[in-house]
Structures are given as C-alpha cells and as structure tokens.
Structure 1
Amino acid sequence: MTEMTPIRRALISVSDKTGLADLGKALAERGVELLSTGGSATALREAGLEVRDVADLTGFPEMMDGRVKTLHPKVHGGLLALRGNPEHIAAMEDHEIAPIDLLVVNLYPFEETVASGADYETCIENIDIGGPAMIRAAAKNHGDVTVVVDVEDYETLLTEMDETGGGTTRVFRQRLAQIAYARTGAYDAAVSTWMAGAVGMAAPRRRAFAGTLAQTLRYGENPHQAAAFYIDGSDRPGVANAVQHQGKELSYNNINDTDAAFELVSEFDPRDGATCAIIKHANPCGVARGATLKEAYSRAYDCDRTSAFGGIIALNQPLDGETAEEITRIFAEVVIAPGADDDARAIFAAKKNLRLLTTTGMADPLAAARTVRQVSGGYLVQDKDSGHIGPNELTSVTKKSPTDQQLADMLFAWKVAKHVKSNAIVYVKDGATVGIGAGQMSRVDSTRIAARKSQDMADALGLSAPLTHGSVVASDAFFPFPDGLLAAAEAGATAVIQPGGSMRDDEVVKAADEAGLAMVFTGMRHFRH
C-alpha cells in the first residue's frame, strides 16, 4: 500500500457516455492502457483510441445479453489484489492476473428507468450487477486502486494525475472511495424502495434513504448548526428542482419555508383562478384567490401584513410584471412560481437580494409520496398527506345548511388548514384567509389568536369590524369541547368545517345550532406537527 499509486491500466465501463471520449484520450496521452466493455469500448474506438476488450482479458465472451461480462477473477483479482502483499502478487502471477489501477464505472440508469414509468421487467433489466460489484471491489482496495463513478470527477482525476506525475494520492483515493460507496448505497436504496412498492410492501423490514448533494448550506436553522441540502431525484415540481434566477443562495430556512409555501399553493388548481400563499416560519400567514395574480397577492397580504414581512411568496400561475411590482413594495425572502415573464424578471432585478425561483409546473397534491422524520434512534415514515375532500363528501350536521358561498369558503379553508401546524384554525371569507391560528397547545387558543390577528389587521386597514365577521372557520381536528367553536362564533364566524369524531360531538353540534352556525363534518383530519 503506497501513498502515491501510478495509474498504468484503466478499466472503463460506463452507461452514461458523457465525457467518455475526452477522458479516454486524456488517459491514453498519459500512457494509460485502456480496458473496456461493450458500448464503452465501441465509443472509445470510434474516438480513435486503442482499447482492449475485457472479454479478451478474461478469455470469456460477454454472454446472457450482457448480464455476464466483468464477473471474473481476472477482473476482480486485478482490482482486489494488495500490491504490497507477496501472497497476492504470487497469486496474480500464477493465474496471469494483471493489476487494474483505475476503475471508471457508472451504473445502468435504473432510477431514470423507474422515473420514466417503465414496466416491471424493464426496470429489473436495468438493475446493474457487475458495475456495483466492481465499484465495491475497487473502493475496498482504495489503498492501491482509484475508482471514479461520477462524470464530474473526470477532470479532478486528470488534475490529480498531472500534479502527482501520473498517479493519485491515498487521500484522493479515500475521497473517491467514499463517493463510490455512497453511489452503490444510493443505487441499492433506489432498487429496494422501488421493489417494495412494486410488490406491495408498505413497511419493508429494512428501508434505505438516499440523496445527492445539491448544496452545502451556510448553516442550518441556526448559525451553530452545520447543514446541507440533498435531493432525491424526484421530478415533482418544487424547491428541489426549481431554477433560481437571482438573489442570494438559499438558506436552510429558506428551503424549508419555500417548500411549505409551494406545496400549499399547489392545492389550488391554476385553472380555477390565481392563488397566492405567503409563508412565515413554515406556517401560512395569508392565502387568497383573486381575479388576477396581483389581486390574489394583495388579498393574501391583507390577512396579516406584519407576519408577511420577510416571508416566502408562492404563486400558482406565472409571475407577471404587475404582480412583481406590487410584491417589491415589501421585503420578501423568496418568490416561487411556475414561470415568470420578462417584465417580472426586470422588476425583480432591481432587488438583488430577493430570490426568484421558477418551476416547471405545480406539484400534484394528490400524488403518492412519503415523508420521513428523524427521531432519536430511528425514523418515522408515512404517506404524504394527500387527503382531499370534495363538496359531496361533507356531512351537514346542523339545522342550518351552508350556502354555496360558505361551502366554497369552507373547502378553501380546509385546504389551507392542512398546511397549518396543529392546532390549526383558519378563518376564510370570499376566497381569502382573514385569520390563522397555528401551533397552539389548545385549540381554543388558536381560535382566539386568529381572531385577535384579524382584529389587528382590521384596525390597520381602518375597518369598522374584524375581518372574521361573516367568515367561515376550519379546524384541522375536531373540537373536543364547544368552547373553541363558541370562540369562533364570537369572532364572527357563521359556518364551520371540522372532522367530527369527538365524544362530545352532540354538545358541539348543539352549541353550533344555538349560535346559529352552519357546520359540516369531513370525517378526515389534517394534523401537521
């Protein structure tokens, strides 16, 4: 085992041919013998390079539709042999095994195949066997062997070789070995996760998670916490695959809040009208529909102007110049939308610290997905809350039935409540939130806090009555006692949407009737902790 190991022979077998010809030429210029397989060998020869087939090295042809080609002692012996071990050297000489100093492998595109919606058998055929086996062998023997699994490391490898006179240092090989093991680990995680879903295993015995580094963050929630952002390769529109057009690098809290904002606004189909959601510390402080995007933003802002300062703004339609002009009147951290026109970008360009993100579309709120939360010693894994209630699924439980306008506002409030931290209370009037109470230990406290914030905004706007007068109210879980419902009635709410299911539902319904409220049960709750 040496500190600097020269590279004299390289085995190259890649699925992704990006940069392959340039790498092959660079290695050949540095006197490296090239071994290769199948399509990689063909591509290298087409680039005018001399390549030795692995089949020639092993004495066995590729067989079984390419399933068997590198699983051979002359390949794995060349990768695993310890160069400083006399017994290993003797075995190599006895069996005519030549050392392999560099392995360049990237794997069959399994993740991409699954993402394309391919059938079961096609996905199975895109599970790489020989590639991971060689990668693990080379990474294990990183004292002597260099392993490269990512195209972005090609130039790094060549620079290292030039700086060391044609080889690599131990520290360099260690770093690449870690990258290699992480790649095979992520690959196996993708395969096992897909297969669990394909065979209907909701809770497999072992579950693996993997991600690719997207960004090393300045810090986490607080400056003393180190942090990084990893992506899972999903094509779901959102903060992970949005394009940032301007502004400072996103922080940990920016990413978390932007995700919350975009997931919330995605509940509202852009075909049904423009909608804006403003988020602060992962909770909505204003959500509204409007005839235009500008109107939607203005109505959302008027729910709680104080909290909106320094918030995250999410839109369900492409940002236009008129709306951008209005947004720039306050300080916002991030704006995310499914597109932005030239006028909007030009207006935002004057606000260099404002981050503008655009996505390829809206996220599907009903799409199957999972959420993962770490706890001490383990992980909690659950289905993403894609619960949806339509007007025909509501049960009217009071003497008074809701009007069509109340019903529309109820469903609007219900969608918002799903994205508010429990205990969640959301007042809505005419397609706009007018009071939001979040994260309280008591539901009645959430009810009163939301009403108080509504009164504060009415005072700021010079209105004679709180915004909650004539509103509807949504509760993410049942009212355990009538007190929370009565607090909402005192705030001016005229109709209530809640899951029902309390032991005291009869008392709550009676209280609603006595207060002249219309109330419907959803039969579904939306806890969000």
Structure 2
Amino acid sequence: MSKKLALLSVSDKTGLVEFARGLVAQGYTLVSTGGTQRTLAEAGLPVQSVSELTGFPEILDGRVKTLHPKIHGGLLARRELEKHRRQMAEHGILPIDLVVVNLYPFAATVAKAGVTLEEAIENIDIGGPTMVRAAAKNYRHVAIVVNPARYQAILAELAEKGTISEETRFALAVEAFNHTAYYDAMIARWLAQQTQSAPLFPATLVLPFEKAEELRYGENPQQQAAFYREPQAKPGTVATGKQLHGKALSFNNLNDLNAAWELVLEFDEPAAAAVKHTNPCGVAIGEDLYSAFLRAYESDPVSIFGGIVAVNRPLDGRTAEKLAEIFLEVIVAPAYSAEALAILTRKKNLRLLEIPLPEKRETIDLKKVSGGLLLQTLDTSTISAEGWRTVTTKEPTPAQLADMVFGMKVVKHVKSNAIVLVKNGQTIGIGAGQMNRVGAAQIAINQAGAKAAGSVLASDAFFPFRDTVDVAAAAGVAAIVQPGGSVKDEDSIAACNEQGLAMVFTGTRYFKH
C-alpha cells in the first residue's frame, strides 16, 4: 500500500470518478464504502473497502461502517507526536491523508411529498459528519473535501506541488465545519417542525440558509450583498420564485418584490400593487386583473415609475399591454399567459418573476440588529370587519366598511406612521414612514387632492390627539378606521361627531418598521 491514503464516501457522485482517477495518478490508495466503492470499482479503479482496512464488517444495515478506531485513529493522530505514531504502529492504524465525504441527502429526502419521519431519520448521516469533523480538526495533516466543486483545484495543486498545502487544508476545514453545521441546522429545523410541542422561540436558535446567488451590490453600490435561501423554503415564496426574463435581480429588487408580493396576498379579489422602496404607492382591487391594475396605476401614476408591480392572478395579454407602457423594474405574478410573455419580453431588462400562490404563509419574521437577531411571528391574520365596533354617532355605510377592510389590508404594509386614503377599493393617497401621524395624514391628503372628498382614512395605529381627525375632516374624508386604544380616544370620537364622520375601532394595530 502506498503512503498516501484517500477515504471516499459520498452521496453526491458528481465528478467522483474523474477525481478518484486523478488521485490514483498522484499515488493515492483509495478506500471506500458502499455505493461509492461500487461506482469506483465499476469505473475500473483499484479501491479497497473500509472493512478491509478496519478488519471489521459493516453492520446494522450499514449504520456502522466508518465508526472504528482504525478510521478515526488515522484521521485524528497528530503525526508530529512520537506517542501518537507509536500507538498507531502498535494498533496497525494507517494515516489517512485525504477524506472525500458529502452527507446523506437529508434535504432531498424531506423535500419529497409524503415523506415519513422514519424515512427522514434514516437519512440522517452519523459516520459522515464524524469523519468530516475529525479530518477538519486535524487539518494540519488531513485534507477534507465536502464540495465536488473543489475537485479540479485540488488535482491541479497536487499536480503542481505533489501535495495539498496547509493553507488549502485549512480553507477546506473551514468549509467542512460550515458544511456539517448547516447539515445539523437543517435537521434540527425540520425535526422541530414535526412536533407541536417544540417552542416557538427555542433557547438556542440554528437557522440553515444556503447561498442562492451573489448580488452585484447591496442597497448601495458601496455595499456587498448576497441572497440566501432556506433549504426547505415553501412554494409561493420569493426564494422559490422563478425568474422568466430580464436582468439579474438586485438586493433592492428582492426586498421590494417581497413587499409587493406579501401585499397582494392579502386579497381574495383580483388585486394589483405597485411598490417603491418597500412602500406601496398604488393598490387596487377590481372585477378582473386588468381593471385592478388600471386603478392601481391611477392611484399614483408618478411614483410607479421604476417600481415593482405584483398581481395575484395569472397575468393576461391585455394587462401586459398596459404594464409594458410603463418603465418598471420587476413584475411579479403567479403565472403568465403566452401572450403576456411575448409582450413583456420585448423589454430586454424588465425582470419577470413567477411565484405560484402559496397554500400556507410563512410564520416567522427575522430582523438583524447589532450583535443579535429579533424574531417574531409573521402577522398573517385575516383582516375582516368581524369584531370591529363603530364608536361614533354616525355609522359607516356598507361601501365605506368595505373600504375600511381594504384600507387596513394596505396600511398593514405601509411603513409607520402610516395613513392610507381609500375610495371604492383603490388607494388615492398614502402617507408612509412619518414621525407623527398628522404628518402622514397630510401627505396622504395632499396626494389625494380633490379625490379625498368622501374617502375612507385608514390608520395603522391609534390617534394620540384629535388633530388627524380635524385635518381629515377639512379635506372631506367621510369615515375613519383605526385601532383605538389611546388615552385620548374620546377626543377623536368627539371630533368625528362634531364634523359628521363615522369612525370604527378595530382593536388591532399594524406597526411596520
């Protein structure tokens, strides 16, 4: 047996035979297990079984094959220590110089429809991560390869230098520990989702994410950025969306299109939303998608320029013709007709994203802060007038009540402090991200202009003073919907009664930061 020993045990056999052939050419003896050994042998490569190396058979249906002192002694021995060398010689342990391992396909297994807990458990690798970690710990003597993309570079280094440098071995070790950490995090995450007793916010949190792509830059050109995807991301999410056309999505595109998509999912009716800098600038519902988009566009034909448009119905040719008249960055739809695609793909840089409507919404929202992470449940509650109460003398009309529901669905997605003016299922003015509520109301009213007369005003939180009511009444607003709960609610109620406005309290606020 040569002095260089390589242990190979992989589930992903991409490039395996070519890599193994290159190792043999560099003087390595191959040792392998199960399916990997069969693949190498069928390719005509000389390969020993792990059982030949250890003198012990694979047992328990293959559950135990590499968990043996002759494997882990060969991986963990510090060869610069005379005591370790003596013990290896005493027990017939050969040093292992290179380990090539990638793990049981747990992610692929649990992604299958109808997978059982037993099937998932059987695809949790034990020996593989143990070998990976042992080799990575002893990187000064052992090279560990977990990524097939590394094969060619390693063969090139061996051909050039006759060895794998310590610098490379250290880089491989870092990648290996990241590999096993991700693998364990993925398992922990999936198993936690299988039981109702798992705490929503566990004492320790592990979140597996894989890099989907590096982005040109972040929010600004001086910032670097990348997009990461959850391994078990559900259909209907931005992460599982399919880009059909256009330039690569940017950091801001992804952030904005997520905001637009989450907004149109609020509606059962055909709906369209235009978003700019994560705030909606025009939202409407209609009898069909065409009318919904026309009304959303008319809500603010200036701000939609260069924005994101999301719709919650398959995009048809007629609507696509109108969309093509405007400069947009991204369009998001659950599907596109052939006619719509033919029209929109004429615009070379327009990004088209297809996301099927989700069966189930996500449940957890994350926000990064300096040195930590904020977690909260995602607010996916259904907004309806059930449980709301009229607090003024004047009752809202059925049409106004419908606009109140529509307004609260929109205001939920507007940065606080937020005020939205609505008329007949269409936004006519949006005041977002203001430091005081009356300021947000004034922005929305200024945008609405004469359309404010007879409209409904929706607020994301209560009024601390009556000033917002007074400003709204002066503009001709006819009804107000807000959470209520201020110590000065009676002042706002009195102001509405004085000026003939209907006001409804929902009992639910929608801060968005």
TM-score between both structures, scaled by the size of structure 2: 0.90
How many Å separate the matches in 2 of 1:151 and 1:267? 43
How many Å separate the matches in 2 of 1:81 and 1:103? 14
Find 2:164's aligned residue among 127, 149, 168: 168
Find 1:392's aligned residue among 386, 390, 413: 386
Partner of 1:135: 132
Q: Shift of residue 375 of structure 1?
A: 1.6
Partner of 2:455: 471
How many Å separate the matches in 2 of 1:267 and 1:112? 31
Find 1:299's aligned residue among 295, 298, 303: 295
For the 8 Å contact 1:468–1:493, the answer to whether it is kept is: yes
Structure 2 counterparts to residues 86-101 of structure 1, below 5 A:
86-101=82-97
1:499 correspondence with 2:483? yes
How many Å separate the matches in 1 of 2:475 and 2:464? 19
How many Å separate the matches in 2 of 1:352 and 1:335? 13
For the 8 Å contact 1:263–1:363, the answer to whether it is kept is: no
Compared with structure 1, are the counterparts of its residues 19 and 448 closer, same or farther at alpha carbon in structure 2 (3 Å cutoff)? same
1:230 correspondence with 2:225? no
Give secondary structure in 2 for the equivalent of 1:392.
coil
Compared with structure 1, are the counterparts of its residues 130 and 290 closer, same or farther at alpha carbon in structure 2 (3 Å cutoff)? same
> Where does structure 1 lack aligned partners over 5 or more consecutive residues?
1-5, 456-465
TM-score between both structures, scaled by the size of structure 1: 0.87
State the aligned residue count.
Answer: 508
Compared with structure 1, are the counterparts of its residues 434 and 40 closer, same or farther at alpha carbon in structure 2 (3 Å cutoff)? same
Structure 2 counterparts to residues 111-150 of structure 1, below 5 A:
111-116=107-112, 118-150=115-147
Structure 2 counterparts to residues 128-527 of structure 1, below 5 A:
128-164=125-161, 167-197=163-193, 198=195, 199-233=197-231, 234-269=233-268, 272-273=269-270, 275-359=271-355, 361-363=356-358, 367-455=361-449, 466-527=450-511
> Where does structure 2 lack aligned partners over 5 or more consecutive residues?
none
C-alpha distance after superposition, 1:479-520 (max 9, x if no partner): 222222332333333222222222223332333333333333
Partner of 1:459: none
How many Å separate the matches in 2 of 1:138 and 1:333? 48
How many Å separate the matches in 2 of 1:156 and 1:355? 35
Q: Identity rate of aligned residues, in percent? A: 51
C-alpha distance after superposition, 1:19-58 (max 9, x if no partner): 5455555555665433222333344445554432223322
Give secondary structure in 1 for the equivalent of 2:452.
coil
Q: What amino acid sits opposite 2:70 in the alignment?
A: K
Give secondary structure in 1 for the equivalent of 2:206.
coil
Q: What amino acid sits opposite 2:388 in the alignment?
A: L
Find 2:60's aligned residue among 52, 64, 67: 64
Find 1:78's aligned residue among 74, 94, 97: 74
How many Å separate the matches in 1 of 2:38 and 2:192? 36
Q: Shift of residue 307 of structure 1?
A: 1.6
Compared with structure 1, are the counterparts of its residues 514 and 113 closer, same or farther at alpha carbon in structure 2 (3 Å cutoff)? farther
How many Å separate the matches in 2 of 1:7 and 1:315? 64
Partner of 1:461: none
How many Å separate the matches in 2 of 1:484 and 1:193? 46
Q: Shift of residue 196 of structure 1?
A: 4.7
Compared with structure 1, are the counterparts of its residues 415 and 26 closer, same or farther at alpha carbon in structure 2 (3 Å cutoff)? farther
For the 8 Å contact 1:196–1:204, the answer to whether it is kept is: no
C-alpha distance after superposition, 1:123-143 (max 9, x if no partner): 444332222111111222223
Q: Shift of residue 251 of structure 1?
A: 1.9
How many Å separate the matches in 2 of 1:229 and 1:150? 20
